[in-house]
Structure 1
Amino acid sequence: MKNTLKKLIPYAFVGVISGATTFGAINYFNGNAEDSDYSYFAPKTNDAKFASFNMSGVGEDFVKASKMTVPAVVSIKNYSNKTAGRSEQDMFDLFFGNPFGNNQPKQQQQQPPKDMPTGMGSGVIISPDGYIISNNHVIAGASKLEVVLSNKKSYVANLVGTDPTTDIALLKIEEKGLPYLNFANSDNVEVGQWVLAVGNPMGLNSTVTAGIVSAKGRSIDLLSQQSRTPIESFIQTDAAINPGNSGGALVNPNGELIGINSAISSKTGYYEGYGFAVPANLARKVVEDIKKFGLVQRGFLGVMPLDLSDQRQVTAYNRERKTNIKTGEGVYLTGVSAKGGAEDAGLRSGDIITKVDNTVVSSYYDLSFAVGSKRPGDKVAVTYLRNGKEDMVNVTLKDQNGGTSTRSKADLSVAEKIGSDFEPLSDKFKTDYGLTSGVIAKNVVEGLEMSKIGIVDNYIVMEVNGKPVNSQKDVEKILQGYNGNVQVKYVDEYGRITTRGFKMP
């Protein structure tokens, strides 16, 4: 026994010396972490025990949630016929930086081969018959959408509908008996609770990361890039989210869907600890509308809002109007729409909205979320301040055309269907540039027909189906009731004339 111990003493001594050397090296590299690409650290003993104590209670839940979620999360490949131009801005770039992993300006990059996707993201199966929810920016501009399941089985997906205001899209593949996730009530999500993010980041299929809910009701002024009336009330998480996660699942430890991962806040385009997901309640309302009506039914108060929490907005308004409005919480009404729900209920300029139903309105985004998640005809209780006195009225919401009933695709105008308004060109402009006809494309909606064929704001549309157009009425007259293939002749910012087509929706 003594001989055995004597033999082990040198090894033990070496082990102690090695451990001390390693600990010293760790501390050395920690001290120089700012000069290195990777920082190494040794947690304190108490910290290690604390972390172990916390994780032991949720480890099994993570395994169960992962097993439930991974089969229901898919990879989405976006194939686009667009050619990159300086005026085009890929929504992947807006949300995540370049999806192909370099920082080269887009107009200097070579286009991917035709059999290669121009963008990749994720999606979540939400019914056994193949309905899949994802982000609008994942499918934007696609001429073909391929869905790949976690078992590598591939399908060509049909785009059922999109909603740029919430960055949600609904797809459908023809299959039955698919694994799927149930929506949870995202109103019950608590800051600090554990969550898992599941998706396909960086081409790494079926990746699961864990974190907590960092904040709720977060606005990052991102969706204004693709919508004039965005709804932002993101769930913020520190679960690792990277390019390719977009459209994937944010789930609780029960494997229930609490959000659709959409964006990150990052200086590099990659994970820095700040991820954002569309709340499940809002996403569910959007897909239910798309499935039932073919488009999203959104209610409006009919007000011109000023966000009192935004000092820049308030300062600019005071400077322009020679007023002295104070910053704070709430939404100041600079005006109300004629015959809108707000005017009908007695709201007027100068009122400050502080609450809608049970939602406290601290900013414009609180208001847009509380109202935008409702449908035309719904009633909301609006609490407001007038001359410092609080009051409350019930407002019946209307759509943008002043109606209180739901609409189907058949009720849409031509401009709404193809995703663009049109303004006439001046005679002087036509003379200067040698044009005999043309209208200017305005408010082009990313993901709809005009955008799909490469048209962006301020492009000039010369002809539709071979007929010259000089006003929006001309476009409406040509396409009203038409359900065939549409040919559009247009001029881009370089003066190039292009003719491309789409099937009238």
Structure 2
Amino acid sequence: MRPTAEPRASLLTPASHRRPLTTLSLALPVALLAAGCAGGDAPSVSTPTADTPTVAAADNAVVTAEPADVEDVADAGSGGAISSFDQAQPAVIQIVAQGSLRDPEVGMRTTAGSGSGFVISPDGLAVTNNHVVTGAATLEVYIGGDTTRSYNARVVGASECNDLALIDISESAPLPYLEWSDEPIATGLEIYAAGFPLGDPEYTLTRGIVAKAKAGGDLTGLSSIDHTIEHDAKTHPGNSGGPLLTVDGQVAGVHYAGGRARETTDHQHFGIAHDLAAPVVEKMREGDFESLGINGAPVFDEALGISGIWVSGVKPGSTAAKSQVLPGDIITTLNGLPMGTDGTMRDYCDVLRTAGDGSPMAIEVLRWDSQEVLRGELNNPIEDQVALTPVISFADQIGDDLADSGDDGEVTYSYEPVVDDFNQITVNVPTAWADHNTLPQTDEDGMSWPFIAAAADLDRFQQRWDEPGLVFTMTDPIEDIEGFLDEFGYEQYCTLEESAPYDDGVFMGSYRIYSACGGGDAMLVSLTANHVDGSGAAALMAQLVTDADVDALDQALRTFNTVG
């Protein structure tokens, strides 16, 4: 028999977030959506699949206007605004990005890829796509198809959620530039796609119309925006970042993706409308916006139970770089929310937008190469607590010490989130543990704190050692964690197998593993840890009877959190 009552923690202020403890086999057949970069051996993390249509419609054919003379391009203007689509060439640029990107299928590659962009001010600021430049070591820019001279560029600001970047080629100033359109995008609007497709240094201009003024904003897997422009101006990899021009030479949108539709054999081409792009570009004048500083795309594999954002490149000095996120990592959760489950960037960008730029965010990544799960806190104000930390897995440590959960030893639990009655804390528990206590607990001084207990039968869990379940609560910071753990007195009923420090990058404390509880085969794990910023502490206890219960403990550790 176990004691009828246990000491409870005195309690809580909010803390941050808990993350996972899983070990995954390596076999990731990922499917990433189309992007628009080009280059000799460019990695396929964004899988350029914008296949050339076999038949080009007359109204999206290549425009055959006389190209600008190279000398005219090199000496064009003194920083004036372009006023016609057929005069736009001197303000359109080709970007050759050299660097190392990590592809989920072929691994790390140091290579060059190319995209397009356009100048927006005479001092040499230019717009392109985030996926064209982020993660690159060098950016070489050719202006207007002039291959006789190139310029180095630097990234002023970037946003993976909007797939936009602002770069500076000021050494070439003054330059002719393009202005944003201020007219609403309407279906049927005539547009011209300008750029340098397929890495070709020769300037290309194609004509088309807007097929949908407000197509879905999560279609490409390259961003998450309110809507996109769907158009039929023929584009290829390498057009990414180039302008979609109106007849009067103003920018109606930024082309950023094209490819064969998943549901049909039709080719689709997408742009970011000016009313969405222009405000983001203005914000990027001050630096990154709605961004962790990655070049990435969603991955999902139902068979392996993997979903997240595959990181192919990381911007030096960015939030992701400071937390030691690496190319090849899969961001599986942010602030406790699973990423990429719908094959889009939506959840990733929703978390960034909700938290706000520069705000602390809990992060979990799966490091594919080493099969490690790591967690930490982005934008952590404590300088020595910014790096990702590998997490322990109790399933790895003690799973073999318990009875199998079924005839074949397979884990049999499914999970659901439980929230306390204060609506302050949450944790995922097996759906089979349907008997919950979520009432606040109160100490002798009348102070209440949030509390969750879950088991198939809470009364039996409270009284016996052969009923699995868990208790989770949050508490004020605990000065003496070892003394706090001693107060539970589990040594009276169990054998202490291990006492060890706990550090997951967000919480630091101790855990204890007990065996032979009540003279039987049950095990118990008790964990207490303070948040690294001193705001509070977490206390969790789980009683384990089968190997499935150990997986349930790992699931709890990867999901317990404060609500919101």
TM-score range, shorter chain: 0.3 to 0.5
Provide the TM-score with structure 1 as the length reference. Answer: 0.43
Q: TM-score, normalised by structure 2?
A: 0.39
Q: Which has the higher strand share?
A: 2
